[in-house]
Structure 1
Amino acid sequence: METETKRYDMHTHTRASDGMNSPSEQVRLAGERGLAGIAITDHDTLAGVKEALEEGSRLGIAIVPGVEISTRAEEKDIHILGYYPDIDNEQLQQRLASLRATRDSRNDLMIARLQELGLEITLDEVIAAMGRPLRSGESLGRPHIADALVHKGYARDLRDAFDRYLAEGKPGYVSLPRIAPLEAMDWIREAGGVAVIAHPGLYGDDRLVEEIILQGRPDGIEVYHSDHGPDEEKRYMALAMRHALIPTGGSDYHGVRQGEVFHGELGSKYVTADIVQHLQEKAASRS
């Protein structure tokens, strides 16, 4: 990545989904890290965006409204990032609420499966481990369950909880039917936003990634990510160039949980102002 003064981390999570910081805290941390801006891309919710926009305006930090939508293709979880959607779009809000309902059902099933394994854990204990009430529009995810497992002594740390129970293929993992990546892209574009394939390197299937590109025609692909090494960055930049996609990037920062930074530190992966401007212009062309 070319180093410029203005850096933008385009993939961050707040406690509106499974991050640890409030949106305001996230914006303040971005300022401390010398970032010009960040995207708020919580899972299946826009609940943290307005607070971040207010704090960003106060501090002079650019906030990119965003969301990360959970989808499924060929038995793999595929995430689609949406930038600059109309956050007041009622149809999008209703659609995201339906996804959170699916996520809630999945949480219930994962808790039940863990109980079948002999682990004494309840949803109330998962919420209690958060240390605060769950607010409207917020969603629970596997990291919250992992936290509770650590608090209950069933895992040493977050990584251990995933490796033993919650990662795909492990005994506590549950997958429910989800929308297809192409549908998520349509939702984002219909709300005036820009659709981007998140962290393609995590799927372990570049054939599937390219098929999604050919069928869905996303606007961009996340080239730079905390779990992408130099080889992945080179490969996905070539893919972006081949299909005329905007090459985006971000840390996927979730905050510090159980003493561990999940994915990467805020600002460790970023794009420069020209990429952000390209995304803005693409979204503006849909309004």
Structure 2
Amino acid sequence: MVIGRADLHTHTTASDGMQQPRENVRMAKEAGLAAVAITDHDTVEGIAEAMEAGEEFGITVVPGVEISTSAGGRDVHILGYYTNWQSDDWRGRLGSLTEVRDNRNLMIIEKLRSLGIPISLDEVLDEARKQGKDRGTIGRPHMASLLVAKGIVDTMQEAFDRYLAAGAAAYVNPPRLNPFEAVEWIRQAGGTSVIAHPGLYGDDDLVEEIIRSGAEGIEVFHSDHGTDDEVRYERLARQYGLIVTGGSDYHGERQGVVFHGTIGSRTVDAGVLKQLNPASR
């Protein structure tokens, strides 16, 4: 049993975070946490480095992933914990999702260009490298950062509001895995599925549908959830007998702004790790 607090949602340079996996672990230790999860988008490439850092800093690292899916015309994310992350089959499946993300990036770039904004994939990749990215996937935050650097917008938030967020001018949502499939994928990979930040979807009927499809947990505590969200989803967790999780969804700091919250700003009791890890049940 791990005693203390756990932040179960953080991102690294393996996807669209700003910090190397080792840095997330170091920051979690400095924040006084007992455990931290690495949950990069559609990849497990940062876990090995984080595990090594966990040994160094004396902190438990939870292997995770955040799978990007689509339902009802909106992005929906499913967290997977304690999957067989070293499995070639699982890595291959996640690789297929990375291809979808890569195609989406090209579609966004083309849409931006059609709006008269001069931007190329090479520029996005260069911007990502400037931020210390040396592996994994490219995401919208890297494009937003480039739009700021080119003077198209003043802030990251403006980049999302005007161009990159759902419903904005350059937003695209190509066909991709649905959340019900993601839940099944995680089960087949030996892990535990958790619905990420349900308060962001504005569709609790969909959230309950995903629960009924087999999701085992729900992220009640998240940097973008208010008190009403926490109360509502904690009640839903009790109703369905779900594992209650929480995390900062830390992506790092850009232009002095931390996305979405600092490591350790949203936590749960580390005892939940026993519930999340199928080997401990």
TM-score grouping bracket, smaller chain normalisation: over 0.9
Which residue in the other structure is 1:66 paired with? 64
Which residue in the other structure is 1:261 paired with? 258
| CA displacement at 1:134 relative to structure 2 | 5.7
Aligned match for 1:104, one of 102, 105, 108? 102
TM-score of the two chains, using structure 1 as the length reference: 0.94
Which residue in the other structure is 1:225 paired with? 222
Q: How far, CA to CA, are the matches of 2:30 and 2:257 in structure 1? A: 20
Q: How far, CA to CA, are the matches of 2:250 and 2:132 in structure 1? A: 22
Could you tell me the percent identity over the aligned residues?
54
Q: How far, CA to CA, are the matches of 2:155 and 2:105 in structure 1? A: 19
Which residue in the other structure is 1:234 paired with? 231
Matched residue SS, 2:9 = strand
Amino acid of the structure 2 residue aligned with 1:140: I
Amino acid of the structure 1 residue aligned with 2:208: E
Q: How far, CA to CA, are the matches of 1:115 and 1:135 in structure 2? A: 26
Q: How does 1:182-221 map to 2 (within 5 A)?
A: 182-214=180-212, 216-221=213-218
| CA displacement at 1:200 relative to structure 2 | 0.3
Aligned match for 2:11, one of 10, 13, 17? 13
| CA displacement at 1:257 relative to structure 2 | 1.2
Q: How does 1:241-280 map to 2 (within 5 A)?
A: 241-280=238-277
Is this contact kept in 1: 2:6–2:36, CA < 8 A?
yes
Any stretches of 5+ residues in structure 1 without a counterpart? none
| CA displacement at 1:37 relative to structure 2 | 1.1
Any stretches of 5+ residues in structure 2 without a counterpart? none
Shifted more, 108-117 versus 124-133: the winner is: 124-133
Amino acid of the structure 1 residue aligned with 2:216: D
Q: How far, CA to CA, are the matches of 1:146 and 1:258 in structure 2? A: 11
Q: How does 1:75-86 map to 2 (within 5 A)?
A: 75-86=73-84
Q: How does 1:88-99 map to 2 (within 5 A)?
A: 88-99=86-97
Q: How far, CA to CA, are the matches of 2:178 and 2:72 in structure 1? A: 10
| CA displacement at 1:128 relative to structure 2 | 1.1
Q: How far, CA to CA, are the matches of 2:279 and 2:141 in structure 1? A: 32
Is this contact kept in 2: 1:194–1:283, CA < 8 A?
no
Query: What's the C-alpha RMSD, in Å, of the aligned pairs?
Result: 1.4
Q: How far, CA to CA, are the matches of 1:5 and 1:93 in structure 2? A: 31
Which residue in the other structure is 2:140 paired with? 142
Which residue in the other structure is 1:178 paired with? 176
| CA displacement at 1:193 relative to structure 2 | 0.6
Matched residue SS, 2:142 = helix
Size of the aligned set, in residue pairs, is: 279
Q: Please give the per-residue CA displacement for 1:24-79, whole angstroms capped at 9, x wherever unaligned.
A: 11111111111111000000000000000001111101000000000111111110
TM-score of the two chains, using structure 2 as the length reference: 0.96
Matched residue SS, 1:63 = strand
Q: How far, CA to CA, are the matches of 1:231 and 1:283 in structure 2? A: 34
| CA displacement at 1:273 relative to structure 2 | 2.0
Q: How far, CA to CA, are the matches of 1:193 and 1:230 in structure 2? A: 29
Q: How far, CA to CA, are the matches of 1:115 and 1:155 in structure 2? A: 15
Q: How far, CA to CA, are the matches of 1:57 and 1:193 in structure 2? A: 22
Is this contact kept in 2: 1:33–1:267, CA < 8 A?
yes
Aligned match for 2:157, one of 156, 159, 168? 159
Runs of 4+ in 1 over 2 A off after TM superposition: 132-136, 282-285
Q: How far, CA to CA, are the matches of 1:178 and 1:118 in structure 2? A: 28
